[in-house]
Structure 1
Amino acid sequence: MRFFFKIAVFLIGFLSVCLCPSLIYSLNFWPLLTYESDNETKTVELFGPFGFWQKSEEGLEWGIRPLFSFKNDGYERLDILYPLGGVKKEEGLSEGYFFPFFNFEEERFFSLFTLYWGKSKEGESYCGFFPFLGKIRDRFRRDKIDFVLWPLYTRVIDEGTTTYKFLWPIFKLYKGKTEGVDIFPLWGHRVSETGEKGFTLWPFYVWQDEKFIDAHFSLRFYFPFYASFKTPKYESFFLFPPFLHHKRFKEGQERWELWPFLAFDDKEQKIFPLFRKKETSKGKSLWLLWPLYTYDYTEVSETKMRKERFMLIGLRKKETFNDEEKVDVFNLWPLFSISKENDEEEFLFPFLIPLKNEGFKRNLLPIFTLISYKSKGAKADFNLLWGLFRFKRGPEISYWRIGFLIDRKFTGNTSRLRLFGGILSIRKEDNKVKLKLFDLF
């Protein structure tokens, strides 16, 4: 009972600080509860990296890791047991999911397990209970889908073609812009406005002929012996095994390749896994003793990107725009990550999970990080062991602390040193020193 009472007290304190942060100068009961403010950003932490609340010019975010988190920066986002569940609201529309139980899009779609209902773009209602009976509109990149006891019967309507599927994937009948029949894997043939394709005893013989404006594409595949492919730019063939590949370009160049081991032409030289060098109009790539070292360089308009990898665990990436450095990243998994993007710098140790998307950084990354350093302009934040040692610097303020034992804050001509969360403090203001007891705030 006492344990739950203590938890309740700290939760009440946490909520009070979150709801009324302007009432407090700073608070240090690490690791239970801390509050810090540099005028522009206000931060509350509860039980180390687990509870957090932060308000800044960029917006508001708070949560209890790894259970849930909320962020509002003009768009609202709620994560629940990330990455299993989430809800986001953008431009007045809400959508969310909790895998594998439900999924919804406001006024468009809702599913609970395999029971679903929704509306199409034109306002047509649909519903179903997969795999027994149902219809779907404007989803899965198809205009209309109807099914009964799937895979027994399915009808798909998309871009002027109706496809009837019986005992999918065995029997298919095509009507409309595309006409044809598939009896998989024995035989199939389809004819459309752009060409035709088919197979016999798939995958042993597969063929395709397509024409777009004046460009003709042709494919012949005789598994496992031979394949040919013709385009307006080149003709090529494969012999299996040992995967001999020949490509002849319209300009007269030829390329021979014993895939994936040997390749030689004027653009690429490869002896796998010893060496590879390739050059294109947009960049070049190189690797030595793959995967020991790989290098890629790409140039698109005014943007230049360079990426180097070492033994698949090391990564160095640079990106410039108009010869101005925009991105500089160095990762050595699972030890550390150093990154610089625009005017923001970040260091993380260890780097156990090589992800840095917004949801992962907000919900899980602080739990797995023992040392972090972040800086942006005049601001800096160093965090050791989930706040055991913390140093923060801003345009007008600097602050450091060692757990609950000692903390010090500098603001203009004022400084303050506190012991044991403020049981004893020494303030210095305009060359005047004051000793104070129970200076908790």
Structure 2
Amino acid sequence: MDIRNIVYLSILSILFYSFPLYSVAEERPFSLNFWPLFQYLSDPVEGTQKIEGMGPFFFWQEDPHQKQWGIRPILSWTSDDRESLQRLEFAYPLGKYQVIDGDKKGYFALLSLFREENVDGQKRWDFQFFPFFMGETEMGKDYFGIFPIYGFLFNRYGKEEIRFYLWPLYSRSTSDGVHTTQLLWPFFSFIDGEKKKGFRFWPFYGRRETFGTSKSEFFLWPVFLRQTTGMDTDDPMEERMVFPFYLSKESKHFESKTFLWPFFTYTRDRLTGFEQLDLPWPFFQSLQGEKLYGIKFFPFYGYKEKEGDMKRIFILYPLYQREEDQMREGEERTHRLLLLIRIRSGGDRQGVLRESSLRIWPFFDYEREPTGHTTFSFLYLFPFKDEGFERNLFPLFRIFRWEKDPQKGKSVDFLWGFYKRIEREELDFWEVAHLIGVKRGKGWKTVSLLKGLFYYNLDGENVNLRLFYLPFRLHWSRQRSDVLKSTEKEFADGG
């Protein structure tokens, strides 16, 4: 027999003897581990199955409500019955297609966009693949175009209608009965409507008026500006600007003046008693008002507090920052060191800790949620959390992960499955690649070395032993051994 046949038979033997011996094992976790090429784990109690290949690059997993598979970082697929969700991500975050409750959305690199939604029982959709676009509103109006040559849109970008020809040469939009015409945007603009009039010859001169509400005009933008707002109230606001030398806002109850923007500013609200002084910004600032106080000597020290709402402190920014926020359910505190270390905790009104987190970027991240779900990860690529990155990118760089769930117990994963462990009530299961695996529960235990070189199984009073991948096993009952020992003892005692 040549070496190739011996290798084939050895692999088949290892695969065959990796499966459990008894049907009762169908109710226990089963694993098939050939790290890092292939790993399979099935947990009938939780109803989960998981396959990983080539370390973290290939994955497939399923639970009673969700299915996922992917090839990181190229693409991933998710289906969730609870949310009526189907999602395909490719080269995330460049591309994504998602369906939730019949609403469809998709994009790729911001060049291609697709959306289909139901609004009050009416379907609307739009599609874009730059420079082409087309769509249909919920009222059944179609639109299309080739940017910047020609096109028209309905109910997009906050406008009822938009039309353009050889943009920026000509465009026209309509909203709330107001028509805006642009010629050689942004230089010439004309506004016409029942409630609004205006024109613009940018940057030399322009004016706009909303009848009875506001009016504004500029000259040599952004140097000279004059604007009045709130004309339909008893406290209209007047704004004047000679940029950057002088800016002012004034009304009966409010005033703000800035000299050499943005350095010197004084603001006062006579109704609330609020006052703020920047002298010069951002190095010195003081503010005070109703239940509000703050002082800042940047970058050495800063303090800001609004009673019953929030508190902010920094010392030698960005060396240390502290944030406190009062919420309806309790309060949240955050400490930051050098923008790399973040410590966050949240508690209820009685001071009981409900959630906490510690992140030292890019080394590790620890988080405990209000539900008690806790995770710890070593090597955390980005200083923020994102579900898409968690599915597609984070596992490629995560060396170690520990997880605790009040319902599902604990789990550990090191080096993408080289060492893994699951602990929960009446179960303790751990493996080191394909080298050694131990499973134990109430009344049973299994130990395996090299997938069958040594295999020991204890199930109640029954014991099975297999050595050297041999096609047979030794089987005996511990109860029978105990009876035999008792009989031998009685015989030795002369019974």
TM-score by length of 1: 0.89
Give the Cα–Cα distance (whole angstroms) in 1 for the partners of residues 278 and 267 of structure 2.
9
Cα separation, partners in 2 of 1:357 and 1:321, compared to 1, 3 Å: farther
- Shift, 1:326, TM fit: 3.9
Amino acid at match of 1:203: P
Deviates more, 1:39-48 or 1:239-248: 239-248
Query: Cα deviation per residue 1:373-408 (whole Å; 9 max; x = unaligned)?
Result: 111115211111111111112334321111121111
Local SS of the residue matching 1:296: strand
Say if 1:424 and 1:439, in contact at 8 Å, map to a contact too: no
Summarize the alignment of residues 57-76 of structure 1 with structure 2, pairs less than 5 Å apart: 57-73=64-80, 74=83, 75-76=85-86
Query: Cα deviation per residue 1:276-319 (whole Å; 9 max; x = unaligned)?
Result: 11112421111111111111112132342222211111111223
Local SS of the residue matching 1:366: helix
Report the counterpart of residue 424 of structure 1 in structure 2: 454
Matched, 1:278 2:304: yes
Report the counterpart of residue 184 of structure 1 in structure 2: 202
Report the counterpart of residue 260 of structure 1 in structure 2: 282
Give the Cα–Cα distance (whole angstroms) in 2 for the partners of residues 231 and 45 of structure 1.
66
Matched, 1:350 2:357: no
- Taking every aligned residue pair, what percent have the same amino acid on both sides? 32
The one of 184, 189, 195 aligned to 1:172: 189
Cα separation, partners in 2 of 1:43 and 1:412, compared to 1, 3 Å: farther
Report the counterpart of residue 222 of structure 2 in structure 1: 203
Summarize the alignment of residues 300-379 of structure 1 with structure 2, pairs less than 5 Å apart: 300-323=327-350, 324-342=352-370, 343-377=372-406, 378-379=408-409
Give the Cα–Cα distance (whole angstroms) in 2 for the partners of residues 93 and 439 of structure 1.
57
Query: Cα deviation per residue 1:3-51 (whole Å; 9 max; x = unaligned)?
Result: xxx9xx9xxx9xxxxxxxx899321111111111332132221111111
Give the Cα–Cα distance (whole angstroms) in 2 for the partners of residues 81 and 93 of structure 1.
22
Report the counterpart of residue 226 of structure 1 in structure 2: 246
Give the Cα–Cα distance (whole angstroms) in 2 for the partners of residues 325 and 160 of structure 1.
55
Give the Cα–Cα distance (whole angstroms) in 2 for the partners of residues 300 and 92 of structure 1.
35
Give the Cα–Cα distance (whole angstroms) in 2 for the partners of residues 265 and 117 of structure 1.
51
- Shift, 1:207, TM fit: 2.3
Give the Cα–Cα distance (whole angstroms) in 1 for the partners of residues 395 and 203 of structure 2.
52
Report the counterpart of residue 52 of structure 2 in structure 1: 45
Report the counterpart of residue 481 of structure 2 in structure 1: none
Larger radius of gyration: 2
Give the Cα–Cα distance (whole angstroms) in 1 for the partners of residues 388 and 58 of structure 2.
16
Amino acid at match of 1:315: R
Cα separation, partners in 2 of 1:269 and 1:413, compared to 1, 3 Å: same
- Shift, 1:336, TM fit: 1.0
- Shift, 1:100, TM fit: 4.2
Matched, 1:160 2:186: no
Amino acid at match of 1:356: K
TM-score by length of 2: 0.80
Matched, 1:128 2:130: no
Report the counterpart of residue 31 of structure 1 in structure 2: 36
Say if 2:329 and 2:349, in contact at 8 Å, map to a contact too: yes
- Listed as ranges, the gaps of 5+ residues in structure 2 are 1-7, 16-25, 117-123, 472-495
Say if 1:196 and 1:208, in contact at 8 Å, map to a contact too: yes
- Shift, 1:233, TM fit: 5.2
- Shift, 1:133, TM fit: 0.3
Structure with higher RCO (Cα < 8 A, 6+ apart): 1
Cα separation, partners in 2 of 1:305 and 1:104, compared to 1, 3 Å: same
- Shift, 1:81, TM fit: 1.2
Local SS of the residue matching 2:30: coil
- Shift, 1:86, TM fit: 1.0
Give the Cα–Cα distance (whole angstroms) in 1 for the partners of residues 333 and 251 of structure 2.
31
Say if 1:262 and 1:271, in contact at 8 Å, map to a contact too: yes
Cα separation, partners in 2 of 1:318 and 1:213, compared to 1, 3 Å: farther
Matched, 1:99 2:104: no
Say if 1:31 and 1:404, in contact at 8 Å, map to a contact too: no
- Shift, 1:254, TM fit: 3.9
